[in-house]
Structure 1
Amino acid sequence: MTLEGARERRVRTGGIELCVAELGDPAQPTVVLVHGYPDSKEVWSEVADRLAGRFHVVLYDVRGHGRSTAPKPLRGGFTLEKLTDDFLAVVDAVSPGRPVHLVGHDWGSVQSWEFVTVKRTEGRIASFTSMSGPSLDHFGHWIAQRVRRPTPHRVGQLLGQGARSWYVYLLHTPVLPELAWRGPLGRRWPGILRRVEKVPGGDYPTRSLPRDAAHGAWLYRDNVRSRLRRPRTDAYAHAPVQLITPLGDAFLSERLYDGLERWVPRLTRRTLPAKHWIPRTRPDQLASWIMEFVTAVEGGRTARTAAGRYADRFGGQLVLVTGAASGIGRATAYAFAEAGARVVAVDRDEDGAARTAERARLIGAPEAWAETVDVSDGEAMERLAKKVAAAYGVVDVLVNNAGIGLSGSFFDTTTEDWRRVLDVNLWGVLHGCRLFGKQMAERGQGGHIVNTASAAAYQPSKSLPAYSTSKAAVLMLSECLRAELAGQGIGVSAICPGFVHTNITSTARFTGVDAEEEKRRQKRAARLYGLRGYPPEKVADAILRAVVRNQAVVPVTPEARGMRFMSRFAPRALRAVARWQPPL
């Protein structure tokens, strides 16, 4: 995506011209996005487009990159001091009377750490969001501390980061980086990003990449060795900082930020399971966090962070749950909300889905939406998948939970009964996996699919032929998908609850009986499940744990675990149990 509709201006500073692009309403708080190496401002296009509805968004090509001019000579033209001059010139032009909210990635973050810690920018920066780029001063002190006190653990950290920094050594060699970027590396770089980082193609990177990368080598040469050897001792942030750490970053260890609180009194930490180029691979998640952080700072509040058990794993991720109006689905939506995830609550019950989304926002979800759909309707699910991708982003965790119950002997179960159970319990799962799973696979950044099966998937019952068959199919589908998607970093888990106290008992159908008898059996089943008293919240906990641990099959409740054991080691006993009459 290009920066369509952007207003451009040229800002002169220190003998060069910077190309500055603006989106959104200038009357709103200004967010300045600073790109890294070897990028241009277009690396932010996806994030900027999402922020422009709420903020005045400013992007500029760093000197020597994109449509900005390069200093002459190049040597000494990219020092942090000169980059700070550029930043101040830009903010004086776009937001002369109001401090700006700064966001940096990679070298954009490295130089932004300079901006937010030097005296001459004090009062010009309202907040700073850093991703994949440390302060060189903080890095220098981090190294010195481990050299002075070299425990085995600290030496391991040094060696680990040293190995990740291999490219820094190469960029300090004379001439070779320029020749490589203007030659084969520049031509192959877009393909490398697609294969290794799973960065979508399209209009990124821009055609100026070979020249940008050649010029940008001086960012390293002019700054890295001098600052690491003699780091500043006054590099304290004078604005609140939000640190976003991608856990799969091939270039920077998360341990590099240990002790950052010493330098940043007002620090908000967030992590996400992604690789280095998150402005391109996780724009929805980044935009959500930036909006939340900027809004909190503007309101004079501390940015809210999730306090749930798995907040480090799911914070900011997009989670879609079907059957979310009640029972296990509702409890699962709430559990992800407490972990800081953005939640899409899906159900055919419009009011119930809306209540779940509203409650999810109150208990921790930065954003939550309600969508109404019948999961058995393939065309409706296709429309939902397109809408979610366009409006909210690609789903990180999909929970196919919607289901219905049906009890009755095989010969009392009509073709229409079978069709309805399979449409919801099996085809609903198939639609979700096919549509949302495909989006995950095409994005290439991994994800997780959770399919709610049942202990009935491996426990046969003479009273549940249709229901058990549908859940057994879900279990086998999950196992097959797990094998197929493992190579793409997408996990698949089948959750198999036993007797859980939800409203499925009061809504389940009983075949072969009249309406009065059906109501009596529904009440009896609901009473028995109520006496069992196993809450759906425990199933929700198991679902989050299954995603974190990438578990394949997860029996939930003691009886589900017992039946699973019997299905593997005592199948004859399980067949005997199948002759009993269960409560549902």
Structure 2
Amino acid sequence: MNLSQARERRVHTGGIELCVVELGDGARPTVVLVHGYPDSKEVWSEVATQLAEQWHVVLYDVRGHGRSTAPEPLRGGFTLEKLTDDFLAVIDAVSPDRPVHVVGHDWGSVQAWEFVTVGRTEGRIASFTSMSGPSLDHFGHWIKQRMTRPTPRRVGQLLGQGAKSWYVYMLHTPVLPELAWRGPLGKRWPRILERMEKVPAGDYPTASLPDDAAHGAWLYRDNVRARLSRPRADAYAHAPVQLITPTGDSFLSERLYDQLESWVPTLVRRSLPAKHWVPRTRPDQLASWIGEFVAANESAGQEGAPGPQVTAKGPCAERFGGQLVLVTGAASGIGRATAFAFAEAGARVVAVDRDAEGAARTAEMARLIGAPAAWGEAADVSDEAAMEKLADRVAAEYGIVDVLVNNAGIGLSGSFLETTGEEWKKVLDVNLWGVIHGCRFFGKQMAERGQGGHIVNTASAAAFLPSRALPAYSTSKAAVLMLSECLRAELAEKSIGVSAICPGVVNTNITATTRFAGADVAEEERLRKRTSRLYGRRNYPPEKVADAILRAVVRNQAVVPVTPEARGARLLSRLSPGALRSVARLKPPL
């Protein structure tokens, strides 16, 4: 969106003129977006466009940035007190009779922490969403705690954040930052953002960047040392706060927010795998989380409405809350357990299986467990056309998938010489081509969206454990493992992670449907019952595999052997492949 097409007004305060733009219906609750350094309001253009479909959205150029004027003199003109004056002037103009929802990024968040913790704004702020910018008061107390009671861990945290804050020291030097921004750095900044942070250009940054960055250096000079050395003791938030933490932020440590609950009575935490400039790189996810938080706090103000609890309480809830997760083979076993685990973490779930009733049951249970929404979809993963239609339908009706779990699979046992061509085709169609179809269609959508994602492919310990009894199955899973490694390399530049999960012997119903090459009906049934008893005695639950899948996504792990035997086989395949080959020659007991 081009913000020049929005409604614009000028707000005068403290001898300066602020450029304010508005989108959406002015009668609806107001969301105020505050930009950071060295940005202008255009950093929010994608987020603002999406939020404006439901809310009254207001953006303004901070003093000295964009189309707002700069104070004279610059020194002393950017204190948090004066920035708070500006904020109050803006909300008096755009929402005089109703509290506003504030969203801040980087220095916009630093400012907004001041807004939400000082007495003169109490009652004017309905909620605050913070990202990539701490309260300077909280930061000051964080430093003092670690200096007065040092431990190896606390000293490590201080040193780590100190290294990340290198740019703060540079900005305190006189004249040099201004010369750099108005010279080579200002010219190269768009390319730096594009290469280092994967930030798309569009209408950002604007031509005012060199002057914005030069003026904005006074944000640091006027506030940082004063507040860090003498932090306020009463910096408690008087409105609900949503904290969104990019886990790959190059400038701020996640540890800065460890004691935040002591300052914020009502706190919702979110995290996402991204770098610093999330308004540009993850606008869809931000708009979703901001809109959800605003809606929850608006309804909380109504008589009889529930409070602003918008996240699930399960493990990984702050990471997956509200995200869209699609799981194939979800009617039973590992797929069903995985769908439930993501549901418990607050994700929206699409459960896919050839068994339409089973997929629907999984979706229904996922909603009961905690998924804000869940749907069952019938599809055969081996059918290319069906998977392409499924991907198109999911994108149109539910959105672009954030996490794809290619889990559907079938078993096939028997010697190579007894395995027919048709049996080979069937196992490869499901176990390998099913994964390929999922990666092609859903992975392409992730890549085209350009906002990251994650793909999980269920392989097997059989991928690196040769066996004379499982040539077709092991081949299919080894191919899935290598496919995952190749995709991981290719999609890394798109911020899409790829993980291969390698369970071992897990107690699922795959044994009840496993085919045994060369066996007649009676013999196949006997072998199925025997295998089911063995798996039942092992009794490794699929829920543990599901937990491993969530951890793999959170940690962006490449290959994850799950069970002890899978981990042992993986290690042996690297240290002593000859031993595995010897074991592979053993004939399994019948």
Q: Same fold (TM over 0.5)?
A: yes
Trace 1:131-170 onto structure 2 (pairs within 5 A): 131-149=131-149, 153-170=153-170
Alpha-carbon distance in 2 for matches of 1:345, 1:3: 39
1:421 pairs with 2:427: yes
Alpha-carbon distance in 2 for matches of 1:391, 1:2: 27
- 1:257 partner amino acid: Y
- 1:175-230 Cα distance to aligned partner (Å, 9 max, x none): 33233222221221111111111222333222332232223223223333333344
Query: Does the CA-based 8 Å contact 1:25-1:55 persist in structure 2?
Result: yes
Alpha-carbon distance in 2 for matches of 1:256, 1:549: 20
Query: Does the CA-based 8 Å contact 2:354-2:379 persist in structure 1?
Result: yes
SS in 1 for 2:382: coil
TM-score, with length taken from structure 1: 0.85
Trace 1:25-174 onto structure 2 (pairs within 5 A): 25-149=25-149, 153-174=153-174
SS in 2 for 1:205: coil
- 1:228-282 Cα distance to aligned partner (Å, 9 max, x none): 3443333221111122222322222223234333332222333333221112222
Query: Does the CA-based 8 Å contact 2:78-2:218 persist in structure 1?
Result: yes
Alpha-carbon distance in 1 for matches of 2:395, 2:45: 17
CA drift of 1:123 comes to: 0.6
474, 481, 500: which one pairs with 1:475? Answer: 481
Q: Aligned pair count? A: 581
Alpha-carbon distance in 2 for matches of 1:551, 1:16: 51
Trace 1:527-538 onto structure 2 (pairs within 5 A): 533-538=539-544
Moved more, 417-426 or 356-365: 356-365
Query: Does the CA-based 8 Å contact 1:433-1:449 persist in structure 2?
Result: yes
SS in 2 for 1:299: helix
Alpha-carbon distance in 1 for matches of 2:524, 2:159: 69
CA drift of 1:550 comes to: 5.4
389, 393, 398: which one pairs with 2:404? Answer: 398
CA drift of 1:426 comes to: 0.6
- 1:364-389 Cα distance to aligned partner (Å, 9 max, x none): 34555555544334455456556767
Q: 1:115 to 1:483 in 2, by over 3 A?
A: closer
- 1:199 partner amino acid: V
Q: 1:519 to 1:11 in 2, by over 3 A?
A: farther
1:233 pairs with 2:255: no
Q: 1:213 matched to which residue of 2?
A: 213
- 2:439 partner amino acid: C
CA drift of 1:476 comes to: 3.3
Query: Does the CA-based 8 Å contact 1:400-1:450 persist in structure 2?
Result: yes
- 1:496-535 Cα distance to aligned partner (Å, 9 max, x none): 3344343434445566778898788767766775566443
Q: 1:570 matched to which residue of 2?
A: 579
Aligned-CA RMSD value = 3.7
Alpha-carbon distance in 2 for matches of 1:101, 1:346: 38
Query: Does the CA-based 8 Å contact 1:246-1:274 persist in structure 2?
Result: yes
1:19 pairs with 2:28: no
Query: Does the CA-based 8 Å contact 2:467-2:585 persist in structure 1?
Result: no
- 2:135 partner amino acid: S
Gaps of 5+ in 2: 301-306
Q: 2:257 matched to which residue of 1?
A: 257
Q: 1:176 matched to which residue of 2?
A: 176
- 1:258-310 Cα distance to aligned partner (Å, 9 max, x none): 43333322223333332211122222332333233223323331424443334
Q: 1:570 to 1:223 in 2, by over 3 A?
A: closer
CA drift of 1:464 comes to: 4.8
CA drift of 1:109 comes to: 0.6
Query: Does the CA-based 8 Å contact 2:403-2:454 persist in structure 1?
Result: yes
Q: 1:120 to 1:564 in 2, by over 3 A?
A: closer
Moved more, 130-139 or 295-304: 295-304
Query: Does the CA-based 8 Å contact 2:468-2:585 persist in structure 1?
Result: no
Query: Does the CA-based 8 Å contact 1:292-1:366 persist in structure 2?
Result: no
Gaps of 5+ in 1: none
Moved more, 182-191 or 311-320: 311-320
Alpha-carbon distance in 2 for matches of 1:164, 1:532: 48
TM-score, with length taken from structure 2: 0.84
347, 355, 362: which one pairs with 1:356? Answer: 362
- 1:400 partner amino acid: N
Percent of matched pairs sharing the same residue: 80
Q: 2:293 matched to which residue of 1?
A: 293
Q: 2:353 matched to which residue of 1?
A: 347
Alpha-carbon distance in 2 for matches of 1:143, 1:532: 50
- 1:172 partner amino acid: H
Q: 1:121 to 1:550 in 2, by over 3 A?
A: closer
- 1:439-467 Cα distance to aligned partner (Å, 9 max, x none): 66778887643321234445556665433
Trace 1:548-559 onto structure 2 (pairs within 5 A): 548=554, 552-557=558-563
Query: Does the CA-based 8 Å contact 1:306-1:340 persist in structure 2?
Result: yes
SS in 1 for 2:44: helix
Alpha-carbon distance in 2 for matches of 1:464, 1:147: 60
Query: Does the CA-based 8 Å contact 1:498-1:560 persist in structure 2?
Result: yes
Alpha-carbon distance in 1 for matches of 2:384, 2:189: 39
- 1:466 partner amino acid: A
Q: 1:389 to 1:298 in 2, by over 3 A?
A: same
Q: 2:304 matched to which residue of 1?
A: none
SS in 2 for 1:77: coil
Q: 1:132 to 1:424 in 2, by over 3 A?
A: same
Q: 1:363 to 1:28 in 2, by over 3 A?
A: farther
Alpha-carbon distance in 2 for matches of 1:273, 1:519: 47
Alpha-carbon distance in 2 for matches of 1:140, 1:283: 30
Q: 1:41 to 1:488 in 2, by over 3 A?
A: closer
Q: 1:26 to 1:513 in 2, by over 3 A?
A: farther
Alpha-carbon distance in 1 for matches of 2:267, 2:375: 29
Moved more, 340-349 or 98-107: 340-349
Moved more, 557-566 or 123-132: 557-566
Alpha-carbon distance in 1 for matches of 2:457, 2:269: 31
Alpha-carbon distance in 2 for matches of 1:334, 1:156: 37
- 1:76-103 Cα distance to aligned partner (Å, 9 max, x none): 3333222222222222233222211111
Query: Does the CA-based 8 Å contact 1:198-1:445 persist in structure 2?
Result: no
Trace 1:533-544 onto structure 2 (pairs within 5 A): 533-544=539-550
Q: 1:426 to 1:159 in 2, by over 3 A?
A: closer
- 1:337 partner amino acid: A
CA drift of 1:125 comes to: 0.6
Query: Does the CA-based 8 Å contact 1:409-1:464 persist in structure 2?
Result: yes
- 2:476 partner amino acid: S
Query: Does the CA-based 8 Å contact 1:501-1:535 persist in structure 2?
Result: yes
